[in-house]
């Protein structure tokens, strides 16, 4: 005999506290898990973004200068270092820079199309580069030409930044000139009035900025033909295929052979680009793991709560179940009763949880500039919680179905 909904609802009213408790637990779990999984998906998507760099066989060396006051000596040393690096048998090419994709920090400047614009057109990473930078990065030039050696100058950090020619990334080109090619166009990459002509456009090239705030500018990059005479410099080094470990071992030795007046940290001074990527997204990895753990724990607690409460109800209703069995109810009827009861509680919980999930997401959108939660996550979460609830109640429901009709004759 198929159990009716009315006696189930009557029993639920008799156990209001437990019913409400489980429904609220399901609602809270759904709301948190939906948003947690959405955050995990966003973090994974961000971590998998292409850098625009041929990352294999590429590594980075940071050289801090022992004497930071003599900028002429620093400039001469940088040029000598690059010659020494390019002559290594394990090295394919090398370039100096102030920053690079995925570094996390570096220079970024407002980009304007007119010198007197009151507001910027967009923001962009600024990479100091030379005629070897694109080849070292493995970034393809899709329009125009590369810098020539004669166009690469030296610049101090406090000097007004100006470059007669620049190369920009294709994403920045589309942002600045959506109606046509950026080649030959004029842009302003500093607060000054001096224009820069776009002589080349690269394929995809990621900025050094990796934070969520920098999402709109993640692929805006301007390459300036200059050596930045800073307190330190980064050397981008491309090893020959299959010789990355040898090049990472040989390159610091070659630099110290040129001059001991430098500091290369033994831990972070030399990093493969795989390590650069890992470091750039370590917070995203940590957040994804944390959200995953929270989701698993909440689901486990919810399942345990359903099992515990249903087991308690079965224990309380053994005489009632025995009476039903004595009146002709089959094992299937008893099993259906508890499954239906749990399903009704679950439906109430997931409906409240769906509203709560959307509400939490809207709050995060306004407070933390999060993306809006896709309804697909809510629908999937509702289905998952209902399946989890039915799975959790199955064991105690089966125990209830095995109650013998003789229980009706036993005293409580």
Confidence band for 3, pLDDT divided at 50, 70 and 90: very low
Closest by Cα among 118, 119, 117, 98 to 108 = 98
Region class of 279: left (phi > 0), else alpha (psi between -120 and 50), else beta: alpha
Give pLDDT, residue 310.
78
pTM: 0.80
Mean pLDDT along residues 7-32: 78
Q: What is the pLDDT of residues 89-145, one digit of tens each?
A: 999 999 999 999 999 888 888 899 988 888 888 999 999 999 999 999 999 999 999
Mean model confidence pLDDT for the chain = 87
Check pLDDT > 70 for residue 150. Answer: yes
Give pLDDT, residue 297.
93
Q: What is the pLDDT of residues 30-49, one digit of tens each?
A: 999 999 999 899 889 889 99
Radius of gyration for the chain, computed over Cα atoms and rounded to the nearest angstrom: 32
Q: What is the pLDDT of residues 251-287, one digit of tens each?
A: 999 999 999 999 998 888 999 999 999 999 999 999 9
Confidence band for 288, pLDDT divided at 50, 70 and 90: very high
Closest by Cα among 73, 78, 45 to 63 = 78
Give pLDDT, residue 99.
94
Q: What is the pLDDT of residues 194-250, one digit of tens each?
A: 899 999 999 999 999 887 777 788 999 999 999 999 999 999 999 999 999 999 999
């Amino acid at each position: 005999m198929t159990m009716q909904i009315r006696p189930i609802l009557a029993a639920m009213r008799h156990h209001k506290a437990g019913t409400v408790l489980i429904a609220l637990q399901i609602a809270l779990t759904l709301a948190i898990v939906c948003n947690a999984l959405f955050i995990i998906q966003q973090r994974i998507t961000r971590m998998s973004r292409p850098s625009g760099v041929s990352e294999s066989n590429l590594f980075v060396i940071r050289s801090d200068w022992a004497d930071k006051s003599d900028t002429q000596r620093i400039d001469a040393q940088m040029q000598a270092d690059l010659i020494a690096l390019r002559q290594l048998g394990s090295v394919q090419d090398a370039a100096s820079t102030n920053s690079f994709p995925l570094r996390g920090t570096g220079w970024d400047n407002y980009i304007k199309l007119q010198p007197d614009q009151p507001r910027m057109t967009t923001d962009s990473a600024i990479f100091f580069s030379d005629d070897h930078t694109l080849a070292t990065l493995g970034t393809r030039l899709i329009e125009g030409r590369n810098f020539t050696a004669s166009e690469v100058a030296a610049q101090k950090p406090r000097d007004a930044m100006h470059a007669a020619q620049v190369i920009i990334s294709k994403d920045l080109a589309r942002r600045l000139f959506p109606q046509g090619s950026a080649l030959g166009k004029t842009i302003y990459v500093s607060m000054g009035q001096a224009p820069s002509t776009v002589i080349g456009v690269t394929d995809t090239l990621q900025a050094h900025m990796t934070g969520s705030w920098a999402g709109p500018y993640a692929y805006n990059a301007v390459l300036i033909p200059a050596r930045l005479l800073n307190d330190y410099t980064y050397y981008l080094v491309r090893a020959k295929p299959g010789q990355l470990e040898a090049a990472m071992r040989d390159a610091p030795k070659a630099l110290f052979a040129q001059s001991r007046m430098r500091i290369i940290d033994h831990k972070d001074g030399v990093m493969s680009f795989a390590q650069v990527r890992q470091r750039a997204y370590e917070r995203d990895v940590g957040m994804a793991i944390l959200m995953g753990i929270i989701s698993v724990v909440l689901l486990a607690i919810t399942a345990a709560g359903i099992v515990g409460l249903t087991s308690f109800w079965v224990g309380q209703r053994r005489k009632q179940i025995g009476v039903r069995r004595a009146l002709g109810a089959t094992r299937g009827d008893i099993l259906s009763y508890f499954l239906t009861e749990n399903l009704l509680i679950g439906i109430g919980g997931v409906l409240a949880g769906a509203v709560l999930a959307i509400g939490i997401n809207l709050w995060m959108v306004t407070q933390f500039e999060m993306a809006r939660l896709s309804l697909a996550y809510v629908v999937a979460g509702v289905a998952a919680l209902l399946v989890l609830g039915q799975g959790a109640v199955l064991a105690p429901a089966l125990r209830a179905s095995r109650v013998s009709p003789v229980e009706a004759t036993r005293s409580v």
